[in-house]
Structures are given as C-alpha cells and as structure tokens.
Structure 1
Amino acid sequence: MTSKNTAPAGENTVKTLLILGASGDLTGRLLLPGLARLLASGRAKGLKLVGAGSTDWTATQWSERVHGAFAEAAKGADAEGKAALAAMEKDTAYHGLDVTADGALAELLAGLEAPVAVYFALPPHVSQKACEALDREQLPAGTRLVLEKPFASGTDSARDLNKTLLGLVPEDHIHRVDHFLGKATVLNILGLRFANRFLEPVWNREHIEKVEIIFDEDLALEGRAGYYDGAGALRDMIQSHLLHIMALLAIDAPATIGERDLRDAISTVLRASSIPAPFKTSTRRARYSAGSIGGREIPDYTAEEGVDPERNTETLAEVQVAINTWRWKGVPFILRSGKALGVKRKEALVTFRPVPHLPEGFRGVDSPNQLRIGFGPDTLQFDVDVNGPGDIFTLDRATLQAELNASELLPYGEVLEGVISGDPLLSVRGDTAEECWRIVEPVLAAWAKGSVPLGKYDAGSTGPDDWPTAVGH
C-alpha cells in the first residue's frame, strides 16, 4: 500500500514552494533572492510560490516583496529567465494564518498543487508546534518538510522533533538545511581531500598538528536580537554549521559522494567527537562592547534593542573538539565564530607538524606548512618553504594559491534546488542533528553556571586581549 505522502515515480519534482514565515526577515533577505537566482538560471521551471504567515499582509504587500527580491536577478537574466521570474511574480499568493492552529495549515496545503515543499522560515519552537498540528493523512502526496538550523534547541527537543517529522514524512523527505554548506563548498572540500594522492597519506595525527575552523564576522547584531540573544555564537554557528565543516575535513573516504555514503561518513565522525573537560581550558566565550567597524559606530551589545544583559549571551565562542578515532586522536579541532570583529575571516586552517630535522646550513623561515581553505569565496592557499631568492641557503615562505569552483547560485538557491529536485545531499540527517547538540550541550550547561568567564572585546577588534592564539595553548 502506497502512503498518501509518497509521490508516484516520476513525480518527485516539487510543484509548489510554500514558505511559512513569508513576511519575516529570512524570507525577504535570503530565501526569495536565492529563489530568484535559481529561477533565472532555468532550474526551477513551472514552480509555484505561495507565502503564508501570521502577519496580515495584503496581496499588494506580498507582490511588492517578491518583486523587490527578484529585481536583482532579473537584471542579469536572459529572456527565458526574465519570463520565469515574471511568471512567478504574477502567479504568487500570500495567506495570513496561524500555522500552529489545528487544521489551518492542512487546509492551505489541501488546495496546493503537489508535491509541495513546506519551508519553515520560523523560530524552531514555532516550527515544532506547526508540525505537531499536522497529520500524515493531511499532507499532499510527496510533501517535503524544510527546516532551518539550528534544528530544535537541544538533544531532547531535536529527538522529539525528529519523531514528529518522521510521523509525517519519510526521512528522505525531510530537509534540515544548512545554507552555510553550499554544494560547491562541499564538493571542493571532498575533491581536495580525496582526489590528491599526495595529501591523503599525511591527512592524519602523524602529520597534522591542529585544524582551525574560523567564521569571524564584521557584522554586529543587525536587528536580530529576537533570535540571537537567545542563541549566541555557540548555538548559532558552531553547533549549526562549523561542526559539519569539521566532519567533512575529518571523514574517511566514502565509497561514493551519494547522500547515504557521505552522510554515513559525517555521522561517524560526529559520534566520535566531544569537547573535553575541563571546559575552562577547552572553551572560551566573550561579548562585544562598543567600538567601530569600517567607520560605523557599534553600540555595546547589551545596549542593543531587544537584548537582555542578564542572559550573558556570548557573541564570540571558541571550542576545542577532540575526535576519538585512530586517524585523529590527539589532534585538536578548534572551532571559532564571532560577531563585530575587525577582520572578516571565513576559513579552515590546517597546520602541519614541523619537519623532524632541518639540515644545518639553512637559514630563515622554519615554520610548519599550512593549508588554508577559504569559504565565500572558496579559495585554496598552501604555504611552503622554498629557497631564495638571493641567498639560496635562506628559506623563505611562498604561498601557492588557487580559486576553487564557485556556484552561480546563492547559498539559498543551492538549498532550494536540492529541495525541489529531492536531493538531500546538502540536508542534515536526523541522527547528525542530534549529535551536534550532544557535543555542545555540556558546554552550554557549564557556561550557564558561570564555570567559564564571559570575556569582553571592543567591536572592531580581533577579540579579547588576553585570549592566546589557540584554545589550550
């Protein structure tokens, strides 16, 4: 017997994209522009867009939002792309409703062309309530459920939400999206790791001293206090995104880059990962105070509208993760992310161990080789020591550089393409979402008790003055 929410073979492509929270910031700033670029590229033909939210918007307000978000993509589109954008603008609709009310969302879904992708551009607790208000039999055939990260608010809530979702659709119809990991970024890391014979034999504890994954932003709160002050840097970035990048850098070679083999490999790494106690030496946290960035005056975090100073929310977090496997035992993976920093830095930095012996007679640089993988734009830099120029006995540092493959789509366009086509490669599997929370929860509990002091740094600086270069060093 075929379940009602399983689409017949050959009918897997989504026909309708329903965005819940359509009047919110995420939809206007990221989702709609990503969709526009996808449409302009000709990769979402025939897709219908429907918005829904608790805000009582008119059809004109919604049309203006869609048009404004599509305008930039239309400038660079060909005739076919412009036609696709115009067609969606003309045929879109907005519905004001409480998605958590019994029967409200189900009634809306019943009138949409299936298969439908339901994008929850909502806070995690609202998404949970909306899903609980649904029933499997109420969903159109082939329905896909798309949820933003952070997925739930902890291990227990992630487990409960997974149970709720699996009661509605199969796992391969659940997209826990991670826009930070676009397809180009994932494939660039995997290609570098497994297509170069010279690299894989030294990609282990014998040759690598440490791995750092850094996402430092020069943006401050930017009006997101409603979400961010209840999350902080550890939940918002490290738990949600950087642990996944760490796993991609640490996995053993999968048999294929299909979603099952790749996601199995990622899950294996995360199950072996933990943040070692004592957390006073393996973790750090801080919050920005007033300062300036690029001529912009940034107020103290606690003075930002919507912030509760008593929460002690961190805007800069750094943790040292241990991966207890044969390959990585003893190698620290240092994950750091912060806001309102003077230097924008988005990269993975792999530091190799020093050579065991440098023959006497050489002078100059004798420091470990480093490999840098930049994210957005995706770049590669490899620092090596070479002779000269000038005195051939003097070693100097040279950097080999390359631009890695970039996608023509915006990150959310890549996410939506996977949702529409039914490719879960860029989605986080349920067990992996739970593991990410399991890794950080002991740290969150220790921070809540004040076991790790909350440092301070000026907005526009590189962080607290008393932070050493790396955690635990």
Structure 2
Amino acid sequence: MANAAAREQQPLNPLRQADDTRLPRIAGPSGLVIFGVTGDLARKKLLPAIYDLANRGLLPAGFTLIGFGRREWSKRDFEDYVRGAVEKGARTRFNDNVWERLAEGMHFVRGAFNDDQAFDSLAELLREMDATRGTAGNWAYYLSVPPDYFSDVIHQLDRCGMATPEDGQWRRVVIEKPFGHDAATARELNEVVNQVFPERSVFRIDHYLGKETVQNILALRFANQLFEPIWNANYIDHVQITMAEDIGLGGRAGYYDGIGAARDVIQNHLIQLMALVAMEEPASFSPRQLKAEKIKVLRATYPVEPFDRTTARGQYTAGWQGSEKVVGLREEEGFDPDSTTETFAACTLQINTRRWAGVPFYLRTGKRLGRRVTEIALVLKRPPYQPFQPGQTESLTNNAVVLRIQPDEGVLMRFGSKVPGSALEVRDVNMNFSYSEAFTEKSPEAYERLILDALLDESSLFPTNEEVEYSWEILDPILDYWAENGRPDEYAAGTWGPESADRMLEADGRVWRRP
C-alpha cells in the first residue's frame, strides 16, 4: 500500500511517453450497451458523442454499440436511427469511412426491462461480440432511463451474469441523474446498485463535470500563484454560482413536476461546482484524492437559516423571452396548475472550514430567466482603506473573478482602473479570457469526455455515492421547509427570478450579478 501511494504521488517523468497526459488516451477493447437508446438524451447527446469519439480515433477498432428498447428494429433500422442522430448532432464532420467501421459493430435488442427472454438474448449477443468483435468481455451499461427502472435493469444484468466479469475483464454501469429524490431514496438507490456493481464500477453522470471550463477550475487554482493566495475568507466576500436557462419546460412537464429546480440542478450540478471551488489542494489529481477533498467540503457544508430569508423559489408566468411572447408555467401542456413545483430556486450555504468561515455561497438556478448562462463569481472584499476623495470611486464595485462555464467559456476579472482624463476617477473594467479566442481546438462535448472516461476507468469526474448522499443532506432541510410553506413566488418570463431572491441578498447588503 505504501508503494502504491508513493507511485500515485510521484512526479511525472517527462521521459516516459506512456505517462505523458498530453497524449490522447484510447479506450481498450470494449463495448457499450445503452438502455433507453430511443430517448432524447441518447439521440441528442450520447450517440453523437460516440461518433465524435470514433472520429477522433479514441475508440478501439472493434468497439461495439448495442441499443436496447421496445422498437421492432433490425440492425439496419438501428444503424439508420443512429446515423440520423449523428448527422444532426455530431460536433465533428461526418466521415463515411469512420461511420462504416462504427456501424459494423451496431446491434439492437428488442425488449422491455422486465423481459427475461430479451435479456437472455442480450447476454448471448455479448458473448458473440466477445468472440467475433474482440470486445474481450469488457462492457459498460448506460442506464439512460428513469430511476424507477434502475432496479429492474440492474436485477436483469445480475440474473444473466452480465454484471459479473471473468478474470481480466470488467463490467461497469453508467447512471444518469436524478440520483434519488432525497437523502433516504438516494441511499436506497445506492444500495440497489451496489448490491450488484461494486462502487468502483459505478459511474454516476453529472455532465457539467465533463465541461472543459469546469475542469479548468482546478488548473486556474492550482497551476497559478496568482489566485490561490486570495482564495479564502480573508479576501473573498461571497461566492455566487448561477445556472440560468432561457427555455421553459418544453414538453418535459410530466418529468419536471414533483422534481423542480432545486432537485434538478442545485443538488447535483451546483453543489458539485461549489465543492470544486471550495476544496483544498489535493495531493494529486487521482480520483481517490479528488473525491476525498470534495467530500471534506460537503461534510462541512450547511444551509443557512432562517429559510424564509436565506432561500427563494418561484414559478415563471407569461412574459417576453427576447422578442417572443411565451406562456407561463401553469399554461404549459401537461403541467398541473395547482403544483407547487418551483422553476426557480436559490439558497444560501455556508462551509464551516478555516478557509471559508463567514463566506456565504449563494446558489441559484431557474428557467425562463434573462439569458442562458452558467457562471461562478468570486466577489472580493473591498480594500480596508482607500485614499480617494468622495465621488472618485462611487462607480467602483467589488473586484471579482468570474468563471464562465457556458455558453461563452472563459474567465473574467473585474477590477478598478482610472478613467482617462485630468480628473481622478476610478471605474470598473473587465479583463476577459475566452477559450474560443485563445485556443484553435474546439472543446469536446461533456459527454465525449465522460463516456471515454467510463471506458478508461477514469472516475475523477463522477460523483461517488457518498457525494450524492451528502449533497442531499445539505438540500433536504430546505426542501422540507418549502414543502410546508405554501406556494412559490411568481416571476415574469425573461426576468431574473422572483423579488424574494433579490431580497435574499439585499438582507446581507449584497446584490446578484446580472451576467
């Protein structure tokens, strides 16, 4: 064990090309089975990502893709469906040679999740692919299905022996959110999965963690001396983490009702972003070390009370989204007009560590907001003394470091500068770093990175069962309070949320950023 730990922390030897992380890592012999392959996620994200990986040369020659669903499809029907999804959604240019090699390994199995015969056929197909395609018994199972079906699929994989690898083989399961409805159901779900798949073989997808700018948080903090000295309560006044969408439910009313913005986004995406921003420097970037530091943060995080002042929730009403007139939530098709499910959620969290004591973390998310944007803003304290006359700095606000996750990936720094002229006047200016301008290579989609990492057994970007359960324990008290206290407030589509969200920060003498 000591030798293994030493190897894990040993500096990279530049002479060993095999260890050079600048070189692309190619998945070894393997195959992928997608349950729910006919759903929106698979069509819009997963299938295009798989093609893009093949087009970039990151999948093995014998890679095999198997779809499982209810459609009465032949192999050719499935190939046509995948090609349509690829041509519409792929990031890279279509290449006939790449497509032909990929299509050779495509197969479809028809059946329901409680259909023993269908899963027996799937198991037989896997054995055939191992013999003819060289997949070597290495299979990942992607559960792109609602959580209610997780136990059915997991049970069938176990019953047919598809979850148990032989010596030298591996079997992994990839699970989409939501990971439960609260802490209790998350624990139950983890128990169901871990009874069949050991935790090291479980990959819980949080696609935000696959985004290039999210990973750049680690580079920004730990590769630069510029930021880390001020990354603490001595200099940071507060942190705002925002994920705003300009779309409504758009046909997802049935799924969304009963879940809401807090469960859909804060519990996973925003709390994970908070953990990356707040964690201590790991001994290395190995999955074990990264997860250990994130868990320390989550254990120390608590919601701030009283919740009537430190949280806000809302439902959008009719309004203008740009130049388009849009309907309100209660007019959305399939949504219960009496529902108390929120489309906007904001909360105040605190991290009880020496680095962050006294620094509030404000998290917010919502639909039908002013624009689509995800960002992390670290707002610095004002200098303790400023030798300026009244009026010379009245236009100057707090310095800030803003990490833009989407859509314009990059980093913004806001600071004060003198206005040209004979008078001494200081105003805010911005210094911008943009990925699209600084690098010629286009960033890969998040699902490309995450699917490849699952095939490579690289679990750094996948939350563990502990992280999921701690995240729910942070959020559950807020959800319980909301459930007992009436309806959400209203806000017009195209605005930045209900007035209660503004009052939430005004009570602390602060304001939300308008991205």
Shared fold (TM-score, shorter chain, > 0.5): yes
TM (norm. structure 1) is: 0.91
* Aligned match of 1:349: 377
Q: Superposition pairs for residues 156-195 of structure 1, below 5 Å?
A: 156-182=184-210, 184-195=212-223
Give a deviation string over 1:299-353, Cα, whole Å, max 9, x none: 2212222212333111111011111111111111111110111222211111101
* Aligned match of 1:457: 491
Kindly tell me: are residues 140 and 77 of structure 1, through their superposed partners in 2, closer, same or farther at Cα, counting changes over 3 Å?
farther
Counterpart contact for 1:386–1:395, Cα < 8 Å: yes
Kindly tell me: are residues 125 and 326 of structure 1, through their superposed partners in 2, closer, same or farther at Cα, counting changes over 3 Å?
same
* Aligned match of 1:290: 318
- Aligned with 1:297: secondary structure? strand
Counterpart contact for 1:37–1:73, Cα < 8 Å: no
* Aligned match of 2:412: 381
Residue 388 of structure 1, CA deviation: 2.9
Counterpart contact for 1:101–1:130, Cα < 8 Å: no
Residue 56 of structure 1, CA deviation: 4.3
Counterpart contact for 1:255–1:261, Cα < 8 Å: yes
Q: Does 2:227 match 1:199?
A: yes
Counterpart contact for 1:292–1:298, Cα < 8 Å: yes
Name which of structure 1's ranges 106-115 and 244-253 shifts more when overlaid on structure 2: 106-115
Counterpart contact for 1:37–1:410, Cα < 8 Å: no
* Aligned match of 1:119: 142
Output the amino acid matched with 1:454.
P
* Aligned match of 1:433: 468
- Aligned with 1:373: secondary structure? strand
Output the amino acid matched with 2:424.
F
What CA distance in whole angstroms lies between the structure 2 residues aligned with 1:341 and 1:353?
A: 28
* Aligned match of 1:84: 98
* Aligned match of 1:49: 65
What CA distance in whole angstroms lies between the structure 1 residues aligned with 2:315 and 2:90?
A: 40
Residue 107 of structure 1, CA deviation: 4.8
Larger relative contact order (CA 8 Å, sep ≥ 6): 1
Counterpart contact for 2:27–2:58, Cα < 8 Å: no
Output the amino acid matched with 2:492.
D
Q: Superposition pairs for residues 238-277 of structure 1, below 5 Å?
A: 238-277=266-305
- Aligned with 1:209: secondary structure? strand
* Aligned match of 1:468: 502
Output the amino acid matched with 2:84.
G
Residue 57 of structure 1, CA deviation: 4.5
Residue 98 of structure 1, CA deviation: 1.7
Q: Does 2:248 match 1:220?
A: yes
1:19 paired residue among 34, 41, 48: 34
Residue 125 of structure 1, CA deviation: 1.7
Residue 366 of structure 1, CA deviation: 3.5
- Aligned with 1:309: secondary structure? coil
Residue 397 of structure 1, CA deviation: 1.7
Q: Does 2:37 match 1:37?
A: no
Give a deviation string over 1:28-84, Cα, whole Å, max 9, x none: 111112222212111113321111124444545433320112225779448xx5422
What CA distance in whole angstroms lies between the structure 2 residues aligned with 1:173 and 1:110?
A: 22
Name which of structure 1's ranges 128-137 and 46-55 shifts more when overlaid on structure 2: 128-137
Kindly tell me: are residues 230 and 30 of structure 1, through their superposed partners in 2, closer, same or farther at Cα, counting changes over 3 Å?
farther
What CA distance in whole angstroms lies between the structure 1 residues aligned with 2:194 and 2:268?
A: 21
Kindly tell me: are residues 450 and 128 of structure 1, through their superposed partners in 2, closer, same or farther at Cα, counting changes over 3 Å?
farther
Q: Superposition pairs for residues 285-324 of structure 1, below 5 Å?
A: 285-324=313-352
Q: Does 2:376 match 1:359?
A: no
Counterpart contact for 1:40–1:73, Cα < 8 Å: no
Gaps of 5+ in 2: 1-25, 131-136, 509-515
Counterpart contact for 1:14–1:421, Cα < 8 Å: no
What CA distance in whole angstroms lies between the structure 2 residues aligned with 1:322 and 1:110?
A: 52
Output the amino acid matched with 1:345.
V
What CA distance in whole angstroms lies between the structure 1 residues aligned with 2:450 and 2:283?
A: 24
Residue 100 of structure 1, CA deviation: 3.8
Q: Does 2:113 match 1:99?
A: yes
* Aligned match of 2:43: 28
What CA distance in whole angstroms lies between the structure 1 residues aligned with 2:29 and 2:298?
A: 31
Give a deviation string over 1:155-195, Cα, whole Å, max 9, x none: 12221222222222222211001111225233310111112
Q: CA RMSD in A?
A: 2.3
* Aligned match of 2:237: 209
Residue 210 of structure 1, CA deviation: 0.6
- Aligned with 1:277: secondary structure? coil
Give a deviation string over 1:194-227, Cα, whole Å, max 9, x none: 1222321211111111100001111111211222
Kindly tell me: are residues 465 and 75 of structure 1, through their superposed partners in 2, closer, same or farther at Cα, counting changes over 3 Å?
closer
Gaps of 5+ in 1: 1-10
Q: Does 2:263 match 1:232?
A: no
- Aligned with 1:150: secondary structure? coil
TM (norm. structure 2) is: 0.84
What CA distance in whole angstroms lies between the structure 1 residues aligned with 2:36 and 2:183?
A: 25
Name which of structure 1's ranges 323-332 and 93-102 shifts more when overlaid on structure 2: 93-102
* Aligned match of 1:4: none
Counterpart contact for 2:342–2:488, Cα < 8 Å: yes
What CA distance in whole angstroms lies between the structure 1 residues aligned with 2:216 and 2:105?
A: 37
Kindly tell me: are residues 312 and 58 of structure 1, through their superposed partners in 2, closer, same or farther at Cα, counting changes over 3 Å?
farther
Kindly tell me: are residues 55 and 322 of structure 1, through their superposed partners in 2, closer, same or farther at Cα, counting changes over 3 Å?
farther
Q: Does 2:448 match 1:413?
A: yes
Residue 130 of structure 1, CA deviation: 2.1
Output the amino acid matched with 1:44.
L
Counterpart contact for 1:41–1:77, Cα < 8 Å: no
Output the amino acid matched with 1:444.
L
- Aligned with 2:361: secondary structure? strand
Kindly tell me: are residues 243 and 49 of structure 1, through their superposed partners in 2, closer, same or farther at Cα, counting changes over 3 Å?
same
What CA distance in whole angstroms lies between the structure 1 residues aligned with 2:323 and 2:175?
A: 37
Name which of structure 1's ranges 365-374 and 401-410 shifts more when overlaid on structure 2: 401-410
Output the amino acid matched with 1:384.
F
Residue 467 of structure 1, CA deviation: 3.6
Counterpart contact for 1:355–1:368, Cα < 8 Å: no
Counterpart contact for 1:110–1:140, Cα < 8 Å: no
Question: How many pairs does the alignment contain?
Answer: 460
Output the amino acid matched with 1:66.
V
Kindly tell me: are residues 443 and 14 of structure 1, through their superposed partners in 2, closer, same or farther at Cα, counting changes over 3 Å?
farther
Output the amino acid matched with 1:48.
T
- Aligned with 1:286: secondary structure? strand
- Aligned with 1:135: secondary structure? helix
Counterpart contact for 1:54–1:99, Cα < 8 Å: no
